[in-house]
Amino acid sequence: MKQIIIATKNKGKAKDFEAIFEPLGFEVLTLFDVAPDMEIEETGSTFEENAVLKAETVANRLHTYVIADDSGLEIDALHGEPGVYSARYAGDHDDEANMDKALRNLEGVPTEDRTAHFTCCLAIAGPDVPTETVKGTCEGVILTERRGDQGFGYDPIFYVPEKEKTMAEMTPAEKGSLSHRGNAIRKLASDLPTWLQ
Ligand SMILES: O=P(O)(O)OP(=O)(O)OP(=O)(O)OC[C@H]1O[C@@H](n2cnc3c(O)ncnc32)[C@H](O)[C@@H]1O
Ligand SMILES: [Mg+2]
């Protein structure tokens, strides 16, 4: 089976990638498999900068093609917060505390003003080629309480009106069919065979 390296330590993200790449015949490897000691400080101020930073750091170390994902939630009523700070909004990678903070900051905001979107920027870096980036988004509404137990991060409070479900109420495959990550991967897909030769 062909292998694809995702420069991430987020197991929820890795599951999202597996749901899309495994049916295409790829085994998904993460930093836990290829470079468990690596901790990359995300010093960029945009998703794109951080995705490029993560992809290039790992590609330079491993001398092979690597995909990195930098993503986050932007809530309109909070002027785009938490944005690039999504993972560390209230506590470092503390999904529950992060959701609580978002819900607290939205207290009293009516449904019609609770619009938000997820963004996913993917960067692909490798030896002797310029790094490429693509972006995918997904629109939704922030609920007042959690629903569902699938997924990760802000999925339980991110409601997708067309599906009448939160992302945490979707199977990984269903989430991938409409998510910011799925949309970004589909943009990349036509380039994949050449990147992975
Ligand atoms: O940097 P890596 O190791 O890939 O893992 P990370 O979790 O730190 O990833 P980011 O720096 O890209 O931060 C993204 C955060 O945005 C949120 N997020 C991104 N995609 C999401 C999704 O599909 N569902 C729910 N929350 C998501 C979640 O809080 C993530 O931790
Ligand atoms: Mg991160």
Dihedral over alpha carbons 13, 17, 20, 24 (to 10 degrees): -170
Say what the pTM is.
0.96
Residues annotated within a binding site for Mg(2+): 41, 70
Domains of the chain: 2-196 (3.90.950.10)
What are the residues whose beta carbons fall under 8 Å from the beta carbon of 77, sequence distance 6 or more? 106, 109, 113, 114, 115
pLDDT < 50 stretches in the chain: 197
Residue 197 confidence (pLDDT): 45
- Give the residue numbers annotated as catalytic, written as ranges: 70
Distance in angstroms (rounded) separating the CA atoms of residues 36 and 92: 18
Q: Say if residues 2 and 167 touch (Cβ distance below 8 Å).
A: no
Residue 94 confidence (pLDDT): 97
Q: Quote the ipTM score.
A: 0.99
Residue 128 confidence (pLDDT): 86
What are the residues whose beta carbons fall under 8 Å from the beta carbon of 129, sequence distance 6 or more? 195
The pick from 5, 6, 10 for probing ligand 1's pocket by mutation, whose C-beta has the most ligand atoms within 8 angstroms, reads: 10
Residue 190 confidence (pLDDT): 67
| DSSP strands (E only) in the chain | 2-5, 26-29, 66-75, 81-82, 115-126, 129-142, 158-160, 165-166
Q: Which residue has the least CA distance to atom 13 on ligand 1?
A: 87
Assigned token pair, 118? 């997820």
Residue 191 confidence (pLDDT): 65
Q: Say if residues 13 and 36 touch (Cβ distance below 8 Å).
A: no
Q: Say if residues 81 and 106 touch (Cβ distance below 8 Å).
A: no
Residue 194 confidence (pLDDT): 61
Cβ < 6 A, ligand 1 pocket = 8-10, 13, 42, 69-73, 86-87, 98, 118, 151-155, 167, 179, 181
Residue 193 confidence (pLDDT): 54
pLDDT tens sequence across 70-88: 999 999 999 999 999 999 9
